[in-house]
Structure formats: structure tokens, C-alpha cells
Amino acid sequence: MKTLKLFTLGLLFFAASSIQAQVSINVNLGTAPSWGPAGYSSVDYYYLPDVESYYDIRAKQFIYLNGGTWVRTKYLPRQYRNYDLYNGYKVVLNDYHGPSPYTYFKNDKVKYYKGYKGGHQKSIGNRNDNHGDSNNHNDRGHGGGGHKDNGHGGGKGGHGNGKH
């Protein structure tokens, strides 16, 4: 009887440590940028309608059309160097987890046109938080400043039943 109790106790400790390890792994994957909208999990991409670009959260890269080809870079294109990522609207693509979010670009571009605004959208952090995440400026002139604390957004729809 005593052996059975010890075996059961050991099994419970082992199960608890396995669960703890799984949680740690999931939490560390794909940290969203401080300018990203707060309150979302399991998200791989944002669509930025004002600049017709996507942001890959895991790779920390912007994805946009350049000369007819989709490119991935750390910064937005030069013409958007002054774009305010904190105040710009971000469509949260909850239901797309593949490698090419631009597969639905024609639909996204129509549904979330330049200047599209939804309900209030709070950013994860403040523009003065320096976490080393992707921003929209660098010394080569590809970005800009002028960031503020809150963005605009909200609503539902998009690539199925994800929150946008």
C-alpha cells in the first residue's frame, strides 16, 4: 500500500513537471512587437492596411509587394518611413498560420482599405519601450518616428472567423 502511494505521488510530480515545460515552450514563441494590438494570442501575422503590408510576428519581418514580388524585410519600404506603427490600424489574422499571408491580399486590400478604422485598439507597449522589437526606422532611411501610445482597430471578420 505504501509503495502504491509513493508510485502515485511520483507519477503526479512527473506529470506536473511535463506540463510546466510545455507551457514555457509555448510562451516563448512569437513575441509580438510593442506596437502590436493587446489581447491576442496564437497570432502569426498582422495586416497593415495603410501600407498594404503584413507583419510576421515570429520572424519579426514586414512582408510587402516590391516590383511585383512579395519580399520579407526588417523594415517597411522607404515611402512609409514616417508611418506610425502605434497609431496605425492592425488587422489581427487569428486564423491564418501558413507561410504566405498574402495569399488573401486581394480580399484584404478590398475589405481593409487604406484609412480603414475599427474600434479602439490598445498597443501592447508604449513607443518609448525599447524591447528590441521591429520598429519602422533605421539609419539607412527605411523608417521613421513619431510613434504614439494607442492605435485604432477592432471588429471581426477577415480570413474566416478570426478577430480583426
Q: What is the pLDDT of residues 138-158, one digit of tens each?
A: 433 333 333 223 333 333 334
| pTM assigned to the model | 0.64
- Residue 64 inside a domain? The answer is yes
| Model confidence band, residue 34 (pLDDT cutoffs 50, 70, 90) | very high
d(CA 33, CA 161): 23
Q: Is residue 128 part of a domain?
A: yes
Q: Determine contact, residues 85/126, Cβ cutoff 8 Å.
A: no
Total count of domains within the chain: 1
- Residue whose cell numbers read 486564423: 95
pLDDT tens-digit map of 40-84: 988 999 999 999 999 999 999 999 999 999 999 999 999 999 999
* 123, 37 Cβ separation under 8 angstroms: yes
9: pLDDT confidence band, cut at 50, 70 and 90? Answer: low
Residue 164 covered by a domain = no
Place of cell 484609412: 115
Let me know: does 41 contact 88? Beta carbons within 8 Å: no
Residue 76 domain boundaries: 37-152
Does residue 61 fall inside a structural domain?
Answer: yes
- Is 135 among the domain residues? yes
Within 8 A by CB and 6+ apart from 29, the residues are 58
